[in-house]
Chain A
Amino acid sequence: MTPRTAAAQVEVTVDGRPVLVRPGTSVAAALLEQGRWDFRVDPVSGRDRGPYCGMGVCLECEVTVDGRAHVRSCLERVRAGMRIDTAAGEDA
């Protein structure tokens, strides 16, 4: 039932660490497949937040992509060589 491994994986960096991800997915999907649910830190409570609506409305899935802050990861596609930084990465 898991997707058959087809296209070659591409390398991106997540919070500075190189990881292999499936091409053609959203950035959110790539992070979730890494087991990551801590996309951003809520500025009021200081607690982790993860993607919620999956369609660009809630803005809970915002990450930094190639230095561009506040990218909605559910609407952005991964590309080989992409640099993805979550809140955890920014604080590091």
Chain B
Amino acid sequence: MSGYDAVVVGAGVLGAATALELAEAGLSVLVLDRGAPNREGSGTTAGNLHIQAVHTRRPGQAVPLDSEGLLPAQKAADGLWAQAEERLDADLEVRRNGGFMVAETAEQRQELRTKHVWERRAGLETELLDGDAARAALPLLGPTVTAATWCPHDGYANPLKAAPAYLAAAGRRGARVEAFTPVTGLERRGAAWRVRTPRGHHDTPVVVNTAGPWISDVGALAGVDLRMSPVAIQMHVTVRERPVLHHLVQHIGEGMSVKQVTAGNLLLGGGWPARRMDLDGRSSAGVAGLAGNVAQAARILPFLARLRLLRMWAGPLAATPDEMPVIGPVPGREGLYVAGGTYAFTFAPLWGETLGRMIRGQSPRIDVSAFAPDRLTAPAGGADTAVPAHTEKGTAPC
């Protein structure tokens, strides 16, 4: 029906960033999405730019991630976010005002010290503060905070603007976007892939799977088993306030992130599980997650208790069994690439660039071999290494 140099499956922020990279290099690119662009994980995420080492577990997460192993990618992503608005010629509400990662218990303080060492080793500038020093730097912090690390590079961007801006920029360079167009088949035809949709098919040598929670489903169409588990998490936002909090605040021991977005609303997140994941319709946020997230956030930032909740929502993300990102060519499937997993929003500019370089045979900015998809396609070693406990896999078609 038609031919493209590359077809990107999934118009979230990773797909959009990859499409721009490829279109800028002169490739003809088609981006397909089963729904509206940026509607799922990329549009429902909190939009944090995590540059200091992250805490290792979301609430309910079974396997801790390798926080140290992410640092080179975070450092590289930081540099790319600094240039994103200029490159995209768009206001993404990027705020790189720095952030605090707080601790309360002795064990958490030890975690902060450990991560501070990793950060110095990775060449990332952070500062370790005791509780009083942290409160002097951010008087909004509550009395239970006993230590914090400060990283001047942490920040956030508006997730409702990032992917659309990437898509628009890609569009200006000739990329096409087809929304509400699910991929129904991926067949190998000679040296090319035939991408089937209800509206016809497209032949292309390169397929990029950035389908987020549907990564496994899209992989399955190409006959490859990518062991990813969709999870739905929820976010909470208050009514607009006058500017009061200029930094990102996170917790080393618990899932928590708080910031004031450009419009003035305070956004509370941290990966609390949604009430229900629904990959066919909309996932729904629950009261348990609300109560848990608000209780911890108001303990760390007591001023939140006098604010009003305006809205809460849920969105899906795709977790790998080891909770680390996945990026690279899919082994045994020439021309098929995948990117997804943890902290995809922070890494979007980097993963877009990385896939773009890989597809064009160039070496990426940083070594991403640790995140290669082969660890997801290898047969499981035994029952106990199977999917983690928090997986509630949906039955959605891609």
Contacts and interface: CB of A to CB of B under 8 A. Distances in A.
**Do A and B share a direct contact in the complex (Cβ within 8 angstroms)?**
yes
Interface of A: 43, 69-70
B308 A43 contact: no
Interface residues on chain B, size class: under 10
Contacts of A70: 239, 308
Contacts, number: 5
Interface of B: 239-240, 264, 306, 308
A47 to B, nearest CB: 15
Nearest to B239: A70
SS class of chain A's interface: helix, strand, loop or mixed? strand
Contacts of B264: 43
A75 B306 CA distance: 21
Nearest to B242: A43
B147 to A, nearest CB: 33
A70 B308 CA distance: 9
Contacts of A43: 240, 264
A25 B264 CA distance: 34
3 A-B pairs with least C-beta separation: A43-B240, A70-B308, A43-B264
Contacts of A69: 306
A46 to B, nearest CB: 12
A43 B263 CA distance: 9
A70 B239 CA distance: 11
5 contacts: A43-B240, A43-B264, A69-B306, A70-B239, A70-B308
A63 B264 CA distance: 19
A59 B240 CA distance: 13
Contacts of B306: 69
A24 B116 CA distance: 62
A70 B309 CA distance: 12
B9 to A, nearest CB: 37
A43 B239 CA distance: 11
A69 B264 CA distance: 17
Contacts of B308: 70
Nearest to B264: A43
A70 to B, nearest CB: 6
Nearest to B263: A44
A69 B240 CA distance: 13
A70 B240 CA distance: 12
A1 B217 CA distance: 72
B261 to A, nearest CB: 13
A43 B264 CA distance: 9
A43 B240 CA distance: 8
A49 to B, nearest CB: 14
A80 B57 CA distance: 54
Contacts of B239: 70
A69 to B, nearest CB: 8
A69 B308 CA distance: 10
B165 to A, nearest CB: 21
A18 B308 CA distance: 30
B8 to A, nearest CB: 35
A70 B241 CA distance: 12
